[in-house]
Structure 1
Amino acid sequence: MGQRLPLPPIEHRSKQILSHYRIRKAEMEKLWEVFTTIDRDRNGFWTLAECFILVKEQTNSTVAPLIHSLFYFADRGNDGNLSFDDFIVSFTSFCALSREEVLQFFFIVVDSDRNGYVSKSELKEFFAYRPPGVDSAPVFPLNNKRALGLFRDGHWERLHFDDFAELADTFPNITFPAFHLQELVRKKLLGLQFWENWDDERVLKMQQDAELASDKTQTDQPGRATMKDILEYSTRKITENVNPTVKKPTDGEDDGEGSTQETVTREKDEAMAKNPLLNLIRNPTCAYHVPYVTEEFRRLQEEARKLEKDKQKRQLLAELNIPEGTGMDDYSISGASEEWSPDV
């Protein structure tokens, strides 16, 4: 028997995520032991095949396409290999999902283009999944496709999440593989009791937060997000990261209302940053991936916005033939993308 490998360094952001699930060093050591035991060649990475070994499932089982998706979401390098850091964050985040979030996970798997709904054709394609192999048969029973025709008498073409949840409630067998896969992974990673305790603690926390919430404008409890919240948050964050000079909703607003709005947005963002479903997705090629923005990167974004405003200011002064530094008190600037006008 070989010498046990030491626990590798864990990224700071990863430790933050793990702490939300009450995973400390002792639990990390246990997860590292699972990882190295299955990593037979000891190269420090998992392939898709090793994920099947973890849950002891075959490639022709009904959980197979979901294992593929979980691996794809976790594969930050998009190269077919999982580091321990990616494994421990994505797989424990999958274990941490609530029942609603497991449905959201299934929804995201099918809605690969991130248009906010799943079409009947997308669901049919998913249920037609065949494992690799010349003579392989579909892994899902025909009843799944038949259920799509029975739901609402077949008079539908697309389902948003609430409609999809109704489909799952009417025909539980459709989404059963997702819940079954979570149970299998939970058993292997720290055990069912650990995660059931986590479930109970999370539900209690959400109930307490709901009782303490006195602000009527608050629509969400910390730790919970609707599919609409996820879509709006991911769209905004992706836009901000792609174009750091984009005008934020509160840019140029110095009044109390603007400051309050910015505070509420920041608090919601902090809650969303703890969402296990979003933290599960580390592959940047996934349409639902939301890059995590560090404080340093956020500072650079603010500097970029300021530089862009200064650039636009100089351009306008040049167009008005006003020398820089002259007569500035007579002009007001409300924002980088808005017109300026004299106050006189």
Structure 2
Amino acid sequence: MINEERRPLTLGILKFADVPESQKFISFDQYLLCVVSFAVLTKPELYQFVFDLYDADQSGALDEREVSKMSLELQSKQFHFPANVTTAINLLQGKEGRAALTPDDGLVDLGEFMKFAKSFPVAFYPMMNMQKNVRESTLGESYWSRITANKLKVQELVRYMRRHQGAIPQLSFRETVSSLFSREIFNIRKRAGELYALELAQRHRLDTREVDGN
């Protein structure tokens, strides 16, 4: 239904609904959860999805074996432009005369991985293309692009609120005009406020536990 062959990379989407890869059939609810969760990922979240997918031991870093497995599957000839992906992956592994990442301990942590992904996004073309196929097969690319754009706006507002003790910025003139015809701006700001309030509540619970522990 999403125009993708069954392979390790594509099976990773099942993790959103905790579906084991050995399961032959999934319910509609599981399918919906997988599709929606994957379709709304921003680029940084998509990169982290790949990182988590290959961090098999959940150590927070990719070792040589995990990087090799990721490289092998990203370079599959089943994908378009495998040569471009191979070149980028070789840079990650230091096979092109210079390494994009040169950790002293031979491990690639999330920060280093994200830095590589930002510099060489072509290495992750297979996952981006898969997301494109998922979106086009369910409601269309324009719909999901709008949802993702709103998600980024919510995240930006939450960051602003963290820096300004919970204050939310005033509406721009353009936003004020837009809000007269649509509730989208209102919903974005409402969602940001809810997420910020949730963060405060979680922080308060942690602080309370620390006090009780002492």
Please indicate the TM-score interval, normalised by the length of the shorter structure: 0.5 to 0.7
Q: Which has the higher helix share?
A: 2
Which of 207, 213, 217 is the aligned partner of 2:156?
Answer: 207
| One-letter amino acid of the structure 1 residue matched with residue 160 of structure 2 | E
Please, which runs of 5 or more residues in structure 1 have no aligned partner?
Answer: 1-53, 131-135, 225-260, 269-333, 339-344
The 1:99/1:193 distance shift into structure 2, 3 A limit, reads: same
Q: CA deviation at 1:262?
A: 8.7
Q: Which of 48, 52, 69 is the matching residue for 2:12?
A: 69
1:265 matched residue in structure 2: 203
CA-CA distance at 1:72 after TM superposition:
4.8
CA distance in structure 2 between the aligned counterparts of 1:194 and 1:180, rounded to whole angstroms: 16
Report the CA distance between 1:209 and its aligned residue.
3.2
- Whole-angstrom CA distance in 2 between matches of 1:127 and 1:223: 39
Which residue does 2:99 correspond to in 1?
A: 151
Pick one of 95, 119, 125 that aligns with 1:176. 125
Once residues 222 and 179 of structure 1 are traced to their aligned partners in structure 2, the CA distance between those partners, rounded to angstroms, is 30
Matches within 5 A, 1:1-344: 54-58=1-5, 64-76=7-19, 79-129=23-73, 141=83, 142-147=86-91, 148-149=93-94, 150-152=98-100, 154=102, 156=104, 157-213=106-162, 214-215=164-165, 263-265=201-203
Write the distance in 2 (CA, Å) between the matches of 1:222 and 1:94.
24
Secondary structure of 1:82's aligned partner: coil
How far apart, CA to CA, are the structure 2 residues paired with 1:208 and 1:129?
Answer: 37
Q: Which amino acid aligns with 1:65?
A: P
Distance 1:209 1:146, change over 3 A: closer
Query: Do the aligned partners of residues 187 and 265 (structure 1) sit closer, same or farther apart at CA in structure 2, a change above 3 Å counting?
Result: same
Q: Following the alignment from structure 2 to structure 1, what is the Cα–Cα distance between the partners of residues 144 and 68? A: 33
Q: Residue 175 of structure 1 aligns to a residue in which SS? A: helix
What stretches of structure 2 of length at least 5 have no aligned partner?
A: 167-191
Change (3 A) 1:222 1:67: farther
Q: Pairwise CA RMSD of aligned residues?
A: 3.7
Amino acid at match of 1:56: N
- CA apart distance, 1:208: 3.0
TM-score by length of 1: 0.42
- Cα distance between partner residues in 2 of 1:178 and 1:67: 8
| 2:54 and 2:62 in contact (8 A); partners too | yes
Q: Report the CA distance shift for 1:105/1:158 in structure 2 as closer, same or farther (over 3 A).
A: same
Shift of 1:162: 1.3
Which amino acid letter does the alignment assign opposite residue 203 of structure 1? Answer: L
Percent of residue pairs bearing the same amino acid type:
19
Aligned-partner Cα distance in 1 for 2:131–2:73 = 20
Q: What are the superposed Cα offsets for residues 121-179 of structure 1, whole Å, 9 maximum, x if unpaired?
A: 2111222249xxxxx97975543542221324755511111100111123222222111
Count of aligned pairs: 170
Aligned mates of 1:175, 1:184 — CA distance in 2: 14
- Report the CA distance between 1:101 and its aligned residue: 0.7
- Counterpart of 1:169 in 2: which secondary structure? helix
1:127 touches 1:144 (CA, 8 Å); kept in 2?
no
Q: Distance in 1 between matches of 2:16 and 2:201?
A: 31
Residues 152 and 191 from structure 1, CA distance in 2 versus in 1: closer, same or farther, beyond 3 angstroms?
closer
Contact 2:63 2:108 in 1 (8 A): yes
Moved more, 71-80 or 81-90: 71-80
Aligned equivalents of 1:164 and 1:153: distance in 2?
Answer: 8
Please give the TM-score of this superposition, normalised by the length of structure 2: 0.63
Structure showing greater Rg: 1
